[in-house]
Amino acid sequence: MNQEELERYNRHIRLPEIGLQGQKLLKQAHVAVIGAGGLGCPVLQYLTAVGVGTIGIIDGDTVSLSNLQRQILFSPEHIGQSKAETAAHVLRQQNPHIEVIAHPVFLNAANALTLLGNYDIIVDGSDNFATRYLVNDACVLLNNPLVFGSIFKFEGQVSVFNYRGGPTYRCLYPEPSELEACSVVGVLGVLPGITGCLMANEVIKLITNIGEPLSGTLLCFNTLQFSFSTFSFELNPENLRITALQDASQTCEAVISELTVSEFWQWMNQDDKPFLLDVREAEEYERDNLGGALIPLAELAVRYHELPAHQTIIVHCQSGIRSKKAVQLLQEKGFTQVHHLSGGLHAIRQLQL
136 C-beta neighbours (distance < 10 Å), count: 25
Which residue type occupies 273?
A: K
Active site residue 220: no
d(CA 5, CA 16) in angstroms, rounded, equals: 18
List all residues 6 or more positions away from 296 whose beta carbon is below 8 Å from its beta carbon: 64, 65, 66, 279, 280, 281, 282
3-state secondary structure of 21: helix
Of 287, 338, 298, 292, nearest to 322 (Cα)? 298
Could you tell me which of 196, 213, 221, 190 has the C-alpha nearest to residue 47? 196
Q: How far apart are CA 102 and CA 185, in angstroms?
A: 28
Q: In the beta sheet, which residues pair with residue 207? A: none
Among residues 41, 139, 171, 317, which one is catalytic?
317
In whole angstroms, what is the distance from residue 14 CA to residue 88 CA? Answer: 29
Residue 182 appears among annotated catalytic residues: yes
Q: Are 130 and 249 in contact (CB under 8 A)?
A: yes
Q: What single DSSP character describes residue 314?
A: E
The HSE-up count of residue 141 (CA atoms within 13 Å, CB side) is 17
What b/e sequence results for 303-330 when a residue is b if at least 16 CB atoms lie within 10 Å of its CB, and e otherwise?
ebeebeeeebbbbbbbbbbbbbbbbbbb
Q: Which listed residue (139, 182, 197, 220) is catalytic?
A: 182
DSSP code per residue over 189-204: TTHHHHHHHHHHHHHH
Q: Which residues are catalytic?
A: 182, 317
